[in-house]
């Protein structure tokens, strides 16, 4: 193949990649102009511009309550899922006990089992345990969904970790906990961090299960948005969506930059 045709093929590939990227991202980006529309409609493209829907969002206590609830649940899920997911990943990579594969399958099951099925089961259980509409209930439910997203990256990090370093720490006089805290954990931190981030996003984004276990007194942001789109249909929901988009983008970028910088320092 000569040089010119190579260049043609490369340009075609670039165009194709750009199209795929656009296809993936564009629907999300549409909410940004929508949220800045001056009319109470979803007409796209907007005919005029205003920030009234953002004022609406921040002036309405029900929106703010939903945002607060989502942040609170999300952060608690981060703590619960990251700690238990990391512990599970350590157990799965380090010890060869009976039923290890079965445990792994169970831990990863929430990724595969349809959420609606889990949601119905959870609704029945929570109804009996009176956990519907409680922060605790939300945290438990979301943690189940978030767990696989912690287990997978932490397991990958642990598999790439040089276990001889743990022997070195032990011979230096570090007990198992000190070894884990001072040697293992700092070196698998990128995996743990991305697990934590995924856990937060999973919870912050969750709508199906949340619709079942919500109550009028405790709604997360996606639940409130779903209610809003069926009732009010004004662009406040677009403003809310834009805020979520901004928040998750910033979080992801910060984590990516942090990990990249760490790897460069090494």
Partner 1 sequence: MSVDVSTPGSPSAQGALSAHGASITLKGLTKRYGTATAVDAIDLEARPGEFLTLLGPSGSGKTTTLNMIAGFVDVTSGELLIDDRPVHSLPPHKRNIGMVFQHYALFPHMSVSENVAYPLRQRKVPKAERQALVTEALRTVGLAHLGHRRPQQLSGGQQQRVALARAMVYSPRVLLMDEPLGALDKKLRDSLQLEIKRIHGELGTTFVYVTHDQDEALVLSDRIAVFNDGRIEQVGTAEDLYERPSTLFVAQFLGESSLFHGVATEGADGAGVRALDRTLRAGRGHARAGEPAALVVRPERIRVHPIDGAAADQAGVDQSAPAGNAVRGRVRQEIYLGNSRKLAVEVADGTQVLVRESAGDLSGSRPGDEVWLTFRPEDAAVLPATPSHDNTPTRTAN
For partner 1, the binding residues (CB under 8 A) are 162, 164-165, 167-175, 178-179, 182-183, 186-187, 265-266
Rounded distance between C-alpha atoms, residue 114 and residue 95, angstroms:
30
Q: What are phi and psi of 47, to 5 degrees?
A: -90, -25
Rounded distance between C-alpha atoms, residue 175 and residue 243, angstroms:
46
- The nearest distance, CB 182 to partner 1, in angstroms, is 8
β-bridge partners, 37: 49
What helix, strand, coil percent values describe the chain, rounded to 5? 80, 0, 20
Our CA angle for 76, 219, 65, nearest 5°, is: 80
> Positive or negative, the Cα torsion across 168, 172, 175, 179?
negative
Give the number of other CB atoms < 10 A from CB of residue 74. 24
3-state secondary structure 156-176: HHHHCCCCHHHHHHHHCCCCH
Contact 231, 178 (CB under 8 A): no
Rounded distance between C-alpha atoms, residue 83 and residue 90, angstroms:
11
- The nearest distance, CB 82 to partner 1, in angstroms, is 19
């Amino acid at each position: 193949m000569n040089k010119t045709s190579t260049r043609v093929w490369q340009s075609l590939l670039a165009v194709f990649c750009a199209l795929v990227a656009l296809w993936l991202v564009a629907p999300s980006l549409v909410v940004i102009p929508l949220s800045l529309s001056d009319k109470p409609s979803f007409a796209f493209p907007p005919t005029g511009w205003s920030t009234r829907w953002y004022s609406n969002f921040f002036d309405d206590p029900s929106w703010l309550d939903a945002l607060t609830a989502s942040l609170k649940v999300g952060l608690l899920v981060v703590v619960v899922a990251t700690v238990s997911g990391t512990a599970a990943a350590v157990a799965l990579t380090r010890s060869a006990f009976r039923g290890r594969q079965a445990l792994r399958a169970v831990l990863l099951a929430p990724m595969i089992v349809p959420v609606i099925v889990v949601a119905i089961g959870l609704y029945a259980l929570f109804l009996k345990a009176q956990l519907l509409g409680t922060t605790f209930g939300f945290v438990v439910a979301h943690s189940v969904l978030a767990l696989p997203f912690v287990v997978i990256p932490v397991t990958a990090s642990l598999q790439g970790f040089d276990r001889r370093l743990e022997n070195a720490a032990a011979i230096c006089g570090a007990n198992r906990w000190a070894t884990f805290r001072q040697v293992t954990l700092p070196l698998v931190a990128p995996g743990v961090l991305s697990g934590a981030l995924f856990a937060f996003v999973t919870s912050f984004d969750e709508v199906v299960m949340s619709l079942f276990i919500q109550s009028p007194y405790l709604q997360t942001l996606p639940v409130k948005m779903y209610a809003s789109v069926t009732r009010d249909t004004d662009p406040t929901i677009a403003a809310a969506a834009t805020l979520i988009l901004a928040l998750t983008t910033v979080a992801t970028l910060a984590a990516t930059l942090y990990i990249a910088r760490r790897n460069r320092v090494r």
